[in-house]
Each structure stands twice: as structure tokens, then as C-alpha cells.
Amino acid sequence: MKYPIDGACQCGAVSYRLLKAPSMVVACHCKACQKLSTSAFSITAMVDIKDIEFKGEMAEWSRPADSGNISAARFCKTCGNRLYHFNPDEPEKIKLKPSNLSDTSIINPTAHVWVSEKQAWYQIPDGVKVFDKQP
């Protein structure tokens, strides 16, 4: 994979450039991520904030996480497309939603989390780490 990789929300009002490979890519099966993705799970790429550049205005939303931390999200003010999540107590790390990259070949989860809430019909591939909840 050659970096940087560009990405953008659905309408293009927010764009970004991923400068370096994510530290990991995870599939989350929690009920909140199922609602977010309107699918069986949501894909997240763990990225250091110094390795990504954003352009455009984003809105923010947050909720308490089961851990007691805050799960905050930034999204396009125009189309509502979610760009990333973050913990305000750890602003140097973000959880990028990589499905809006121009090259989605990095989307290959090496771990599946919250499988205790997984849809019964989805079969997790062999060879990936599996966690009942958040590791």
C-alpha cells in the first residue's frame, strides 16, 4: 500500500489525507456500531492524529461509553457522514471510519470486538483475534 491515501465524506465537504498506515483495523459488533453502520458491524482504523490531515467543517456528537470514557464522533455538517471517533481524554488517537477512503484495500480487520453482541448469521473469518467485549 502506498501512502498518502485520500478520503472524503459522501458530499465531499470534508476531505482528508491519511499519511501513514493505521496501527490496526478492527470490526466492532456492538449494538451502537450496528446502528451507526446500519449493518452487522462497523469498521474502525486506529490512527495517530499526526498521521492524518482534515479539511472542511465537521460537527461533533458524544455519548458515554461502557468503559466510563466518552465516545465522541466527528461528522460532516452537510451530509452527516461519520469520519471518525475519539476519546477526548486521548486526543492524539482517532478511530477513523475508513470506508470513505479512495482506496479501501486497507480494510482488512485483524480483530473483531464486542462479538458478544454479534449478529448470529455473520461468521468471523479464521485467523483473526476475537474479543467478547472491548479489549
Q: What is the CATH number of the domain that holds 46?
A: 2.170.150.70
Average pLDDT over residues 76-97: 94
pLDDT band (50, 70, 90) for residue 67: confident
In a domain? residue 71: yes
Exposed, middle or buried by CB within 10 Å (0-12, 13-18, 19+), for 83?
Answer: buried
In a domain? residue 85: yes
In a domain? residue 135: no
pLDDT of residue 71: 87
Average pLDDT over residues 43-48: 95
pLDDT of residue 44: 93
In a domain? residue 28: yes
In a domain? residue 122: yes
Phi/psi at 36 (nearest 5 deg)? Answer: -60, -50
pLDDT of residue 115: 95
Cross-strand partners of 59 = 75
Give the residue among 30, 59, 60 at the shortest CA–CA distance from 43. Answer: 30
Annotate 66-124 with DSSP letters as a single string.
Answer: TTSSEEEEEEETTT--EEEEE-TT-TTEEEE-GGGBS-GGG---SEEE-GGG--TTPPP
pLDDT band (50, 70, 90) for residue 124: very high
Domain limits at 91? 5-130
pLDDT of residue 27: 95
Average pLDDT over residues 100-115: 91
Average pLDDT over residues 40-66: 93
In a domain? residue 99: yes
Q: Are strands 70-76 and 82-86 parallel, antiparallel or unpaired?
A: antiparallel
In a domain? residue 11: yes
Q: Number of structural domains, the chain?
A: 1
